[in-house]
Chains A and B, each alone.
Chain A
Amino acid sequence: MSTHDNQLSSNEHTKFSPDMFEQVTASSTEDNEKISAPSLSFLQDSWRRLKKNKAAVISLGILAVIIVLAFSAPLIAPHNPYTQTSGHISLPPKIPGININGLNGTTKAGGTEVFDKYAQMGVDEDTYYLLGTDSLGRDLLSRILYGTRVSLIIAFAAALFDLTIGVTYGLISGWLGGRIDNIMQRILEILSGVPNLVVVILTLLVLKPGITSIIIALAITGWIPMARIVRAQTLKLRNQEYILAAQTLGESSIKIAVKHLISNLSGVIIIQTMFSIPSAIFFEAFLSFIGIGIPAPFASLGTLINDGYKTFQFIPHLMWYPAGVLCVLMISFNLLADGLRDAFDPKMKD
């Protein structure tokens, strides 16, 4: 056994002081069971993983900034977003203290000649439109701030509806099981056979156009994926041993549902909600873009893009700024949702 001979250290015959061989009682057991890795609760653990995801953290920061700015629009908007100033039509951006062509009130005419449009239009020296104005003389920055607010309100409200309807439906269907589940599943199956955009459009045609109608239209279709996921998870959890154990211990059905299911479902619910927000933002923008969304003069990101698209050939920035905000919002929500998914379900990533 050559392998071992070299491992037999000199210790074997070394002399140790006799007290080294005194027996110690095995009382240090408790000490041994101490686990040096910190033990984390599910949420703490998820938060730790989320914090490690740089993209998600940055997105969270960007979203926080956008949300705060959008919801304080009435306080910070430099101009009234609905006031049409006939003398200030289609002005280029003008930012105080910056003297770069294109950002100082100048624009190009005929492709080459640069001139100060503010001066030409006779606009006051100290009037600044940071992102310029649209073809009706409205301040683009103020409209984007207000528009973002509208888009976010619609998205959050729609997501909230998805959450309540979807979770309730899914919980009932999955928890009760049997016949009821079967019927509820058939209903879901039929509902999901209808393309949701068709339902949304029909609903919008029936209802009076406006923010509420869009929220209702989005809520009518949006809860289905949530219901699906919650049902599947509930079914899976229902047969798990700790739920069985709780039942055996005599806890009431409702109490179990609330205590165990909600805490265990919170992961998938949060993830699904996070994905339904950008999808609602997209749908609102889409509807406004094809012209059946928010009615004028109110602005949402979608109507701003639609307006901008009309004059896109001549004043592209009217489309690019709101489109940029929309894209940043969508990317941030998606990255955050992805990060949350990875954080809640570590199996998905590493």
Chain B
Amino acid sequence: MKSYLKYLGKRVFYMFITLFLIASITFFLSQLLPGTPYSNEDKLSQEQIEIMNEQYGLDKPVPVQYAIYMGGLVKGDLGTSFQFDNTPVSKLLSTRIGPSLQLGFQAVVLGTFIGIILGVIAAMKQNTWVDTMATFFAILGRSIPNFVFAVLLQLIFAAKLGWLPIALWDGGFKSSILPTLALAIGPLADSARFVRTEMVDVLSSDYIELARAKGLSRWVVAFKHGIRNALIPLLTILGPMAVALMTGSMVVENIYAIPGIGEQFVKSITTNDYPTIMGVTILYSAMLVLIILVVDILYSVVDPRIRISAKGGD
């Protein structure tokens, strides 16, 4: 247990190193970005630009700017947006994180839940038409880009059938259905595929045969002995899944006009709003690093082999 705490401490330490490096790289990359951040640059006189540079601290040498930025970061200050009425980036993002988190959470829960069911059924009915259908469905989900899927959903359920709003975010459940579906397709396909592979592997293991030899039926064996062991590794794809959701949210939030982080990010990119781009970058990285850490801890909670014998280092 002690060695495990030590190991955890090490992981947290690496997490902060990672974040520090990401923030630094982001900062210096933003220095490389072409052009000035002012959209109406042509109309500004040299003097006005200098005044504005001073206002944003852009007149100082780069190392000083870097120190100021990193210092602010520690206090949770991500700088000030060049656009959007000079709102502090942290404030801008905090108002927008709600819808993104809500959609992301709903999509992960729905996607993995259906994905697990599909994966388990496919593995149990291995090499039958049920398996083929489930696998093909998973491949469809993985292959169709979520922006195409999002538009398709919009066309069918909003425009043609008129069951759900086209793009009217009011924070309610109804307006979140279509974007959630569009986002869930990725996690669904990934987890279905992953669970099937793991389950097939687990089902062919010796302890499953032993459980069968005890007189348990195939499905009971699958549920009592198989699923737990097949699902533990599913935790490892939560990280990549979160990344896919971030990617997905950019287009899906745009298509459904949802005031979330993704939509903000795309807007910032097209308006050269560097502080906001940097802020989102750091926010995304922090979320990803945190998720990886949480997955690691969860792993040791659900897998007794790691719980006891966790080694330091790797």
- The answer to whether any beta carbons of A and B sit under 8 Å apart in the complex is yes
Q: Which residues of A contact B (CB under 8 A)?
A: 55, 185-186, 189-190, 193-198, 201-202, 205-206, 278, 282, 285-286, 289-292, 305, 309, 312-313, 316, 319, 323, 326-327, 330-331, 333-335, 338, 347-350
Tell me if B65 is interfacial: C-beta within 8 Å of chain A: no
Known: A316-B155, A323-B148. A290 touches B243 (CB 8 A): no
Q: How far is the CA of A189 from the CA of B33 in the complex (A)?
A: 26
Question: B281 touching A202 by the CB < 8 A rule?
Answer: yes
When C-beta atoms are compared, the residue in chain B nearest to A205 turns out to be B33
- Indicate if B45 sits at the interface (CB-CB under 8 A): no
- Of the A-B pairs whose beta carbons lie under 8 Å apart in the complex, a sample of 30, sorted by A's number, is A55-B136, A185-B314, A189-B18, A190-B17, A193-B15, A193-B18, A193-B289, A194-B18, A194-B22, A194-B288, A195-B246, A196-B243, A197-B243, A197-B246, A197-B247, A198-B280, A202-B277, A206-B34, A282-B145, A286-B145, A286-B247, A289-B147, A289-B251, A290-B250, A290-B266, A291-B269, A312-B151, A348-B197, A348-B201, A350-B126
Are A348 and B147 in contact, with the CB atoms below 8 A? no
The 8 Å CB contact of A195, one of B32, B136, B284, is: B284
Contact A193 B285 (CB under 8 A): yes
Q: Is B33 within 8 A of A286, CB to CB?
A: no
B12 an interface residue at 8 Å Cβ cutoff? no
Q: Which residues of B contact A (CB under 8 A)?
A: 14-15, 17-19, 21-22, 26, 29, 32-34, 126-127, 135-136, 139-140, 142-145, 147-148, 151, 155, 159, 197, 200-201, 242-243, 246-247, 250-251, 254, 266, 269-270, 277, 280-281, 284-285, 288-289, 292, 314
Do B140 and A186 touch across chains, with their CB atoms under 8 A apart?
no
Which among B29, B142, B285 is the interface contact of A206 at CB below 8 angstroms? B29
- Is the Cβ of B127 less than 8 Å from the Cβ of A349? yes
Interface centre among A202, A292, A309, by most B CB within 10 Å?
A202
Interface of B is mostly: helix
A326 to B148, CA, bound (A): 9
Cβ contact within 8 Å between A305 and B147: yes
Q: How far is the CB of A210 from chain B (nearest CB, A)?
A: 14
By a CB distance below 8 angstroms, the chain B residues around A278 are 143
User: From A309, which residue of chain B is reached at the shortest CB distance?
Assistant: B151
| Complex contact A206–B32 (CB within 8 A) | yes
Could you say which residues of chain B place their CB within 8 Å of the CB of A334? 139, 142-143
- Please state if B145 and A195 are interface contacts (CB–CB under 8 Å): no
Q: Closest Cβ of chain B: how far from A310's Cβ, in Å?
A: 11
How distant is A17 from chain B, measured CB to nearest CB, in Å?
50
Contacts of A305 in B (CB 8 A): 147-148
Q: Which residue of A lies closest to B132 (CB)?
A: A55
Of B17, B140, B292, the residue contacting A331 (CB under 8 A) is B140
